[in-house]
Structure 1
């Protein structure tokens, strides 16, 4: 019953617009926004993602403007893109959605940009074959920040995903336990013009669409810069 009420509350809080069908133009705008979010975060100097984490990144997901709202029942919903490192660069993006609900005395609403970094070989390829829950199906931790600082080292052993948020200009790690992540198959098919699985795209067997090249190049740039110690 609580799950049903939380779902209804989530839909009402977000006016159900998040569940409407996307257009090709909206998908391109989402890819462009993901690049803008990444640029803003990586331009934060001492408050950005540490270089040693970028060096170990196997996949990067960006969700611009995750909507969070609450009035007794809480909910959050957002859509974004994921790219993974392959043997010949970074892959074309897969469209994802994130959703979660909570129960308790709470009120308010906000929009938050999210960055998810996979730091092991599993990455998102296997996880997105079926929807997964952060904290249950994939161990996650709020990522450390500070490009020039010494990042915590226990994430290498204890986390598959590192999670970050940016709200009102502030960038920090975030706890997303309980949030469900899944491939948005409809949006992915619309963007590529054919039905493709997440593993096909994220392993690099699919060419990067022209509209996604700036985003993929941006991710690659930050990864190479981290390797070089820049």
Structure 2
């Protein structure tokens, strides 16, 4: 599995610290100090990266703009670093396609834990598990980590969106509570006031053309969680 990480942060001390810490834990790290240098590095290593880490506040742009650019070009997982305690920053990042966020100040150990959680979720699949999951014209491929519709057109999903959908199709008809879904997609539970899962569910419904007001695929079970109600078939071909 590729373990190359690209980090953009305008603080040299932070960059140096993270690089040393992550390399000690067997990751290859590329660094950028602003948006321009990040985009150059991203274009150079786009097919080799396993995660990109974006600081929200940068001297020549912001992490949200970079997040949007990355998501237009790649499905690589994105972790955003925000100094704001305002929930708005986190929601905006998730809506633009980020997979996780960390509020500053944070420890390198916490960042490493988030990276490992994403790598566990996006690593090599168990070969005994089915490769393909098919439902209402869609096909989810666990090896290619892709989803196509009935016409064979790709469905654009973030890494976290894919993991959420994969968990749904693995458990059709089961009522899944918020804590389980957050654990599967973020590696941790979230507080009752955190709307990040709701944003992600809404985004996933939109990608699957599932009416948010009267959803057919992903239904809300009030007070209990969510249920994936479509029939799912599995195969390896």
TM-score by length of 2: 0.26
Report which of the two structures shows the higher radius of gyration computed on alpha carbons: 2
Structure with higher RCO (Cα < 8 A, 6+ apart) = 1
TM-score by length of 1: 0.27
